[in-house]
Amino acid sequence: MDGVAILESEVRELIRRRGLDPVRDHQGVRDLVSAVVADYDERSLLGAVPPLADPTAASKAVVDAVAGLGPLQRYLDDDDVEEIWINAPAQVFVARHGRPELTSTILTEHAVRDLVEQMLKASGRRLDLSSPFVDASLPGGERLHVVIPDVTRRHWAVNIRKHVVRARRLGDLVALGSLTPHAAAFLDAAVAVGLNVLVAGATQAGKTTMLNALAGSIPPRQRIVTCEEVFELRIDHRDVVALQCRQPSLEGTGEIALRRLVKEALRMRPDRIIVGEVREAESLDMLVALNAGIPGMSTLHANSGREALTKICTLPLLAGENISDRFVVPTVAAAIDLVLHLGVDRHGRRRLREVVGVPGRVEAGVVETADLFHLRDDELVRGEGYPPHQDRFAAAGFDLPALLRGH
């Protein structure tokens, strides 16, 4: 047994004896490891244990093993790594700046299971044959998703999305090259005056980051209530309540779905409602809330602004047979004001590809749109359309024609 293995064994035994919680008491674990390493160094001088080649590296390895995610911890500590996923014990991938790469990390089946069990301890969520999927938040805010056989062919599939917060304001996205100052100025004003925004795009297109940045334009005196399947948003605002779904218990009771959260949010005196992502019938509850006069925002998977509107007109039909497109389509036209479509360019950079305005009119069962911004020659340029609720801009002191001209 090498020195690091001996240290880890001793630290784990002391944690058990002292009743430390390594998930929540990181400082206590670090202090304990420092004391154990110092004692180990003294014993190594007497020849009782093999010497440590690098005590600092050994300390970090032990802390990572007992209070972190062991061999995966270095990727969590790397600010350039956005996501970690495991397809098989010998296939550990990471994504840096939108580009995937296979790492040199090699695990075992047992190690993968131990890591997942450790990650789920703080969440209270479970994973077994009766519930082969799990979606949870790690203590550091990362989002964990795991699928086990026989849903997968052989190995456990693990995804850890870090949600590196690089943008708390639209100006941060301008600095990152995700949108132009012209579009940022318009969107800042649009959110400030209370336009309802739907952010669309593919997976990893930057929808949550955009939603977070848009929320930075909400006036500071307004109260925000967020509804998410798993906590992902990091909104820098003084009055925010964050709500998260809950999985059913072993008895199949106690589940809290996203639809319920949206309904409960309306009872919490919100000035703004933000729904992390709509995929199913909760889209109906969100539309009802927006149509009730409470400004809000949400994200949606779609390939364009037009497809996002088509999808948001379709998803509410999942709420029940008594919901028809004759109700949903005009409700969408009245409730959604702007659709932002995001994409990833050939360099792996997340960018705003178009901004679509929704004037509120329906023609032959189709929601009309206005082209506000679009890509031309790989540049985001102003379109010819105008956004709805132009009176709100004037009432709030914004010169809308100047905003749209870029002056």
What string of H, E and C letters represents the secondary structure of 255-273? Answer: CECHHHHHHHHCCCCCCEE
Give the residue from 6, 75, 74 showing the smallest Cα distance to 40: 6
Q: What is the pLDDT of residues 331-384, one digit of tens each?
A: 999 999 999 999 988 777 889 999 999 999 999 889 999 999 999 988 999 999
Cβ burial of 7 (10 Å; 0-12, 13-18, 19+) is buried
The residue type of 352 is: L
Cβ burial of 61 (10 Å; 0-12, 13-18, 19+) is buried
Strand ranges (E), 152-280: 157-161, 197-201, 224-228, 240-244, 272-275
The residue type of 395 is: A
Neighbouring CB atoms inside 10 A of 352's CB total 26
Cβ burial of 306 (10 Å; 0-12, 13-18, 19+) is middle
**Dist. CA 107–CA 91, nearest whole Å:** 8
Do the Cβ atoms of 294 and 267 come closer than 8 Å? no
Name 228's bridge partners. Answer: 244
**Dist. CA 395–CA 193, nearest whole Å:** 9
What would the two tokens of residue 307 be?
């497809």
User: Which H or E element spans position 298?
Assistant: strand 296-301
**Dist. CA 403–CA 407, nearest whole Å:** 6
Owner of token pair 């790397």: 78
Q: What is the pLDDT of residues 225-269, one digit of tens each?
A: 999 998 889 898 999 999 999 887 777 788 899 999 999 999 999
pTM of the predicted structure, to 2 decimals: 0.83
Name 274's bridge partners. Answer: 226, 297
**Dist. CA 213–CA 39, nearest whole Å:** 49
Do the Cβ atoms of 339 and 374 come closer than 8 Å? no
What is the dihedral angle through the alpha carbons of 359, 205, 78, 74, rounded to the nearest 10 degrees?
A: 130
**Dist. CA 283–CA 285, nearest whole Å:** 6
Do the Cβ atoms of 247 and 200 come closer than 8 Å? no
pLDDT in tens, the chain (407 residues): 578 888 888 888 888 888 888 777 778 888 898 998 899 888 888 888 888 888 888 888 888 888 888 899 999 989 889 899 999 999 999 998 778 999 999 999 999 998 998 888 877 777 888 789 988 888 777 889 999 998 999 999 999 988 766 688 999 999 989 999 999 999 999 999 999 999 999 988 889 999 999 999 999 999 999 999 988 898 989 999 999 998 877 777 888 999 999 999 999 999 999 999 999 999 999 999 998 889 999 999 999 999 999 999 999 999 888 888 889 999 999 999 999 999 988 777 889 999 999 999 999 889 999 999 999 988 999 999 999 999 999 999 999 999 999 86
- pLDDT of 109 reads 94
Q: Which residues of 237-267 are buried (b: 16+ CB within 10 A; e: fewer)?
A: beebebbbbebeeeeeeeeebbbbbbeebee
Do the Cβ atoms of 316 and 329 come closer than 8 Å? no
The residue type of 7 is: L
Cβ burial of 197 (10 Å; 0-12, 13-18, 19+) is buried
What would the two tokens of residue 151 be?
């849903």
* DSSP state letter for 316: G
Owner of token pair 């550990």: 92
* DSSP state letter for 31: H
User: Which H or E element spans position 97?
Assistant: none
- Domains present along the chain, CATH in parentheses: 3-68 (no CATH), 73-161 (3.30.450.90), 170-405 (3.40.50.300)
DSSP codes, 34-68: HHHHHHHHHHHHTTSSPPPS-HHHHHHHHHHHHHS
